[in-house]
A and B are shown apart, each in its own frame.
Chain A
Amino acid sequence: MDYSKQIQDIAAKLFADGKIDVFVGYRMNGFDDNQIPVVITDPKEVSTLVFTEKSVFNLSNYLKADHTRNKRAGLVVKGCDSRSLNLLLTESQVKRDRLYIIGIACEGVVDDKGQKMQNCIECIVPDAVVYDEMLGNPQGRKDYIVNADIKALAEKGLVERREYFEEIFENCIRCNACRHSCPLCYCAKCCIDQETASLYNGSNTASSAFHALMTWSLHLAGRCVDCRNCEKACPSHLPLHLLHKQNEKVIFENFQNHLAGVEEGERGAFYKYSLKDPDDFIM
């Protein structure tokens, strides 16, 4: 999977035609085969753009930043990235006519060790769902799988499950990198940062980390697209996907096979109302 040349050509043409002000892509870091996301405003830098299976970070995260927010931007999205972009569009965070989207029919990306990422193995939507131009051969929708971790979690009782998560969160250092690297966390003031809410105080105590991460995951329930930006950002390597995948499973089973950001214009599970919604539980 190497679309570097095509992306360079498209970006160069977009700049030449005056269709975009910035382009968000990836470049090599200059010493090994890892890549750095890059926000280009100078057409001369277009030649540094690359796209391979090392292009891991979800670039739709950059659309909430100042230097792209009110500009016409071009960007590259994989399947999962396009789902989060779709949600940003639905939630009126970005305007579609300001974007030029290069969609990738993604064959999966690899981690630092060269292993295919777990979320790519389980990927349901490998092709970009929103795009102006598609690169690669579309593979179509795959089946939804509940992975072994989540199956194991389902076998645990409620108390056991709480203890399990408490043990995981013990190593949380409350840097909030998970939140900042999440493309769908765009609140101008996050509830975790409220000075007045004593539940989410800024202290780094175990209870504070537990509440902050649980609240965060619930705000992303029915919206998380499993891009794993949060896990990549976590300095303690916490398996944060467990929270999101568990939510995903509950929502898939209870909300008519809902998958976040797959259909254009479709809202998150908790943001729309259907008569078919279950009412026998409160989340």
Chain B
Amino acid sequence: MSFSTFVTDKAGLQKMYEAIISKHETYAPVEKFGKYDYKKVSSLKECDPDSPIAETMSVKPLFFPRSSKIMKYEATSAGTSILETDQDPLTAQRVVLGVKHCDARGLQVLEAVNKWDYIDSDFLKRRENTVIFSARCDKAGTHCFCTSLDYDLENLDALDIAVVNGAEGKIYLQTRTERGETFLKEKLEKSTMYNVQSTNDESEMKKQYVAFAASFRLKMDYKDINEKMAKRFDSPAFEEASRNCVSCNTCAFICPTCHCFKISDEKIKDTGVRYKSYDSCNNVYFTLEAGGHNPRPAKYRRWRQRSMHKFVYYKERFGVNLCVGCGHCAISCPVNISIFDVVNHIASTPVGS
């Protein structure tokens, strides 16, 4: 299937967005207390698809909710029975506007683990039924390093339709997947494609990317990091680097790729509801066993687990880094620790010292 490129302007794009919102279930970044989170919207006024990356939460909770009900059960002296299981929440197609490229890549990375071993059909179905409109950044944030990682940001196919700003107020729309192509060509009525023309000229998109790529403060050689981190499991640098961490877990909760969860029961008398909710390997209880033993009692071990999982273990198993370089952990960290600085520091220490 061939993919296509369209050109429009701000008014044209807004009209198209409004048409999408009125016809489809649409999610977009909604501001509250200066922070944007993806919520269901009923008009374009409520949301801002061009929300600043530093203040936007990940889109991950739309696919892997912060807390989801697994089942309702009854446990009496007569025995245990399941009253209801969680019905698949998504059957109709939905649209998400303004997803950052790094964030969309996070979903692609997560597909690997959700397809492996146990197949998480909910996650996969949600992704399959969602059309993602991206918003490519024009300038890198303070903690961004997405261009340094193992994916082609320019032609990223983790999203369905890329929205790129060109010169003189022109906006380019490029389909990247079959889902995006069908959505733009068939699902959208022609009348809503106001001022949207097909084009073959992609030179301005290239120019935008070159300017964007030049604006990065942080650059990383991820192959070097993968290799060096793998050899530094016993490095004392982990202890040093983790000393000022307060184990608040925020980094894991807002990360577009962290996917650890816990199971908890909310039980009143005989009936209960079982939830699957986010958890973090930085949490001291995360590895606590029923017998009381904790294999990761020290903070540096939990820190090591998180950074090694991002740059070594996931890479070994699935061939991709579990870090997408969005910088959200560094932005949200109350003590300004940046995973970029930490892994670079650890990789730079001599082996076995």
Contact = CB atoms under 8 A, between A and B. Distances in A.
B250 interface: yes
B275 A203 contact: yes
Contacts of B33: 171, 236-239
Nearest to B218: A31
Contacts of B208: none
B244 A235 contact: no
A67 interface: yes
B279 to A, nearest CB: 8
B243 A39 contact: yes
A35 B248 contact: no
Interface of A: 29-32, 34-39, 57, 61-62, 65-67, 171, 173-177, 180-181, 193, 195, 198, 201-205, 208, 229, 232-233, 235-239
Contacts of B246: 61-62, 65, 180-181, 233
Contacts of B266: 198, 201, 203, 208
B52 interface: no
Given A173-B278, A203-B264, A181 B248 contact: yes
Contact of A232 (B32, B252, B334): B334
B87 to A, nearest CB: 17
Interface of B: 32-35, 37, 57, 66-67, 142, 217, 243-244, 246-250, 252-254, 262, 264-268, 275, 277-280, 285, 298-299, 332, 334-338, 341
Contacts of B253: 173-175, 177, 235
A203 B274 CA distance: 9
B275 A175 contact: no
Contact of A175 (B35, B244, B249): B249
- For the complex of A and B, the 5 pairs showing the least CB-CB separation, nearest first, are A204-B67, A203-B275, A233-B334, A175-B253, A177-B248
Nearest to B34: A237
Contact of B250 (A171, A175, A208): A175
A208 B336 CA distance: 28
Contacts of B252: 175
Contacts of A29: 336, 338
Contacts of B278: 173-175, 204
Given A180-B246, A181-B248, A202-B262, 4 more contacts: A29-B338, A173-B254, A198-B268, A204-B278
A110 B308 CA distance: 35
B250 A201 contact: no
Contact of A39 (B244, B280, B332, B336): B244
